[in-house]
Structures are given as structure tokens and as C-alpha cells.
Amino acid sequence: MTDNHPSIPLENLVSLSVGAAEPLYQQLVQQLRLLIVTGRVLASSRLPSSRQLALDLSVSRTTCTSAYQQLLAEGLLISRQGAGVFVNTDLPAALRQGKVKPLSIGDRLGATQSTTNTSVGFSSGPDASSFPFPLWARCLAKAWRRPEPSLLQDLHLGGYEKLRRSLSHYVYMTRGVYCSPSQIVITAGQRDSLSLISKALMQPGDHVSMENPGYPLQRQVIHSLGLTPRWLEVDQEGAQLPANSTSQTKLAIISPNRQYPLGMAMSGPRKLAWLNHAQKQNCWLLEDDYDSEFTYERRKTDALMSLDQTQKVILLGSFSKLMFQGFRLGYLVLPEALVGDVIEAQQELGGMASLHIQPALSLLLTDRSFNPHLGRMRKLYRHRRDVLCDLINLHLSPWLYVTPPESGMHLVAYSHQTIDDQGIVRRLKSQGVTAFALSKHYAGQGPSGFCLGFSGSDDEQLKHNVIVLKQVLVAAGFLMGPTQGVGTRWT
């Protein structure tokens, strides 16, 4: 009998490297074997057909067929005639380390349709023209055709229960974080999330460790909450631990998956060092996981919270990169010990997250067409990253240099010489092009350059933006080349 459950979206869990020494099929075998024995892909789960998996991973069908055959021979997979390939339900208990089965993905279908892309400048937002608005409209209609009475009475403490259940499955599959729905609190985005954490954990005047460079808006919110930042320097392994171990803070805000704005992923040893620091210093770690869905070259890494055995990490997530700009919903995944305090803080401050769109979002996340949509976005953003890098090398190399980021929705273009990047950004804005100065992300003096988004701009917009930036640099009289002098500064 044919199994009606959708297949596991392996393209979100597997990353193959063409340049690696191991053949692609061996990479695929090793990654699938690890997903099965650790419980990330559960017993009885149906895998995509070899043809579909080859399309999803952009490899030959032979690669996928060879990998499946080896795992069938090992007994990890079984084949059911007319139904497909499944994870074996009779694996020895010692072979499996999964905990509790996450909620299954829904069985609803949806379509996509283009709309006009209205982004201006170097946009790091989601591409609105590719968002599946017809599917979103159906989710909204279905959610409110016969709304639950509790939705009309605002009885969902911490957020809509079904959305929290959907998210517990989502963060398990995409970030390796095992949590119960009760550990998730739906928020109105980063400002609201930081306000809740501050209310639950902090007192006015308390110190917060923050990365330098970092997100300017985050610094502003921390100041507005009456808290005092202490800066963490950043190197190629990510945020460094506080230089003075005796200078304790209750909270450290870090971005292990992709440091903002520089883009590096935190190394494994550095992650373990932070977890040890949190335990020894009784410090909470707020993990800012702002665009982890979009990884291109490197293998996707699990969240720091997935490694935490001492319940000291809080995961801060957002939907703004998945949905569209202006979508003001986010979430916190909390250690069990903090759930009561954060829910109480949300009640005292007033729930800011719109409850009315949460049922539709729950339907969207569990729709079987949502993961293919993410896969298409990943391919599109990778293409736009490559286009922008090529344009910078072609038109801006006398002034700027760039290394293609392995993930994310923006890149950093460093200047060969010290320039007034904030002045250039103001001049660009007067020409109708938005960008962000790298130096503005530093507390104090930092290197000059530009944070240039690519995900929300099509190829023609990117070319136009680069040409305008070149014209501004030429008009400003900045000298070309890494050994030239400092150019004109604007006031």
C-alpha cells in the first residue's frame, strides 16, 4: 500500500562538496547514515526518490542510487515496492540516539506565483517576487474560515499552540535543537525578544556582553533597556570570550552560526569554550540565529543550543528572512527553567506578537511545498551572491575586495584604503541606492567598507547598484589601489 506521508526534505539536511577528496556518493552515504543513527531522520520516514534527490542536490541520479543501494545493503534503509525507500523500523536500539519523534510534516499542497520586486539598493531582505503568496493566502483563508474560539479571546500564553508545535519540529529538523512546544515563546521580532529577556533576567544598569562589530539596532535596543554593553572582540573563530574572567555579565549575545556583519561561523572549539564559560560563570547565552536557513558552500551546522547540556543557551529566531520584509514575528527557544519567567514578563509587558497570523504561519511551515520553496530561495540567493561578487571584481576592484560568503544574504566588501564609508553611503542614498557602512557596525573605530545585500535585488538591480557605487567612488576622488593614500572625507 502506498504511504501518503511526504518524503523527508533531505536537501535541507545534506550538503555535498564537489571539490572534496571523497566521491559524492560516499559523502551522501556518510551524511545519511549519520542522520539516521542520530535520530534526525526517524524510523519509517520515507526518503525522496533517487531521481528527486538528484534534482534537489544538483547531482547525478547515479550518485543517489549508489548511496541508497549501500544503505539498503547495510540494513539502514528498506525498499517497499510501489511505495519507495524508508528508514528501517527494526534498527537496534543501541544504533539509534534519537529522543522523541518530532511532529510530522503536514500533507497540504501549494503553488507559487511571482509579484513585482520593489527592493531598492543592496537589499539583504527576502525576494518578495518569489514568495508563494497564493499559498500564504490559502493558509490565511483556511485558518480563519472557522477560527478557534481561543483565537478570538487571546487565550494562547506564549503564542499559538499549533505554531509552537510546528516550530518544535522545524528547529529540530533544521537546527538540531530538541525542545518541547512549551519551551517556545512567539514574539514580535528582535526588539520584543530582547525586551522579554531583559525583563525576565536583568536589572537596569546590568552589563551585557555583545559582539564588536555587531548589529547597530541591537545595540540601540540594549541601551534603550537601560543595560550597558561590554564588547567582545571577533576573530576568525567568532566571538572571543571576555578578556577579563572576573568581569562577569549575566547575559552574552552572540551569533555562532554566522557572525553579523562579518559572516564567519564560530569554530567548534570556540563553541565549547563558550558553553564552558556559561556554566562556570552562570551566564546566559543568547544565540542570535538570524539567517541560518541559507547556507551555500559549507555544510550546515547545528545551533549552539543543540550542544548545550547545561540549559544556559537561549535561541533567538526570526521569520523576517523566510517571509517578507515587515513580517513582525519571531520566537525564543528557552531553557525549561526560564519559561515561566519569560511568560510572566510577556504578560506584564503585554503580548506584542500578532496572534491572528500565527495559525496561518503554522499551516505554511507544515505545508509540504514550503521546504521546496526554501530550496529554491537558497539556489536563487547563491546565484545572486555570485553575480554581486563578479560585479565587484569587474567594476570595483580598484577600491574594494570581497570574499564570497559561505552563507547568508549579504556580503562585506572591504576597502583597500581607509575611506569615509559613511559619507559614501550618504551619497549613495542621494542617488537612490541604499547600502550600509561597515564602520558603523563597530563600537569605536573599525575598518572601512560596505555591507552589501544581494538576496532582495535581481541581477539588473545589482548591476545598477554597483555602477552607481563606482560613480560615487570616482566622483569622491578616492585613489585606486591598496597602496594609495587616503581619499577625501565628507562631513
Q: DSSP characters for 31-90?
A: HHHHHHHTTSS-TTPEEPPHHHHHHHHTS-HHHHHHHHHHHHHHTSEEEETTTEEEE-TT
* DSSP letter string, 92-131: -GGG----SPPPPP---------------SS--S--GGGS
Q: What is the DSSP letter of 255?
A: -
- CATH number among 3.40.640.10, 3.40.47.10, 3.40.1390.10, 3.40.50.12780, domain 157-354: 3.40.640.10
Q: Are 242 and 221 in contact (CB under 8 A)?
A: no
Q: Are strands 449-453 and 330-333 parallel, antiparallel or unpaired?
A: unpaired
Within the chain, all domains assigned CATH 3.40.640.10 are found at 157-354
Locate 441 and state its grid cell.
557596525
pLDDT tens track, the chain, 491 positions: 444 556 777 877 888 887 777 778 888 888 888 888 777 788 888 899 888 898 888 888 888 888 887 787 667 888 887 788 888 876 654 454 443 333 333 332 233 333 344 446 899 999 988 989 889 899 999 988 888 887 777 678 899 999 999 999 999 988 999 999 999 999 988 999 999 999 999 999 999 999 999 999 999 999 999 999 999 999 999 999 998 765 678 999 999 999 999 999 999 999 999 999 999 999 999 999 988 888 887 666 789 999 999 999 999 999 888 887 778 899 999 999 999 999 999 988 888 888 888 999 999 999 989 989 999 999 999 999 999 999 999 999 999 999 999 999 999 999 999 999 999 999 999 999 999 999 999 998 899 999 999 999 999 999 999 999 999 999 888 755 543 333 333 32
Amino acid 247: pLDDT: 64
Amino acid 290: pLDDT: 84
Amino acid 116: pLDDT: 40
CA 104/CA 164 separation, integer angstroms: 13
Handedness of CA 370, 371, 372, 375 (dihedral sign): positive
C-alpha distances (whole Å) from 456 to each of 135, 378, 386 are 20, 12, 14
Q: Is it true that domain 10-95 has CATH number 1.10.3720.10? A: no
- Residues linked to residue 126 through DSSP beta bridges, in sequence order: none
If phi > 0 it is left, if psi is from -120 to 50 it is alpha, else beta; for residue 275 that is: alpha
Top-tier CATH class for 372-476: alpha beta
Give the angle subtended at the CA of 264 by the CAs of 258 and 268, to the nearest 5°.
Answer: 85
Within the chain, all domains assigned CATH 1.10.10.10 are found at 10-95
What distance separates the 2 farthest-apart alpha carbons in the chain? 74
Query: Which residue is associated with the grid cell 559523502?
Result: 27
Q: Are 354 and 432 in contact (CB under 8 A)?
A: no
If phi > 0 it is left, if psi is from -120 to 50 it is alpha, else beta; for residue 75 that is: left
Q: Is 0.85 surpassed by the pTM of this model?
A: no
**The total number of residues written for the chain in this structure:** 491
Q: Are 290 and 258 in contact (CB under 8 A)?
A: yes
Locate 226 and state its grid cell.
537601560
Within the chain, all domains assigned CATH 3.90.1150.10 are found at 372-476
Nearest to 131 by CA among 313, 273, 280, 326: 326
Q: Which residues, in sequence order, are CB contacts of 491 under 8 Å at separation 6+?
A: 423
Amino acid 346: pLDDT: 92
Number of other residues whose CB lies within 10 A of the CB of residue 371: 22
Q: What's the distance, CA 368 to chain centroid?
A: 20
Q: What is the DSSP letter of 354?
A: -
Instruction: Sort 163 into a burial class: Cβ within 10 Å, 0-12 / 13-18 / 19+.
Output: buried
Amino acid 214: pLDDT: 95
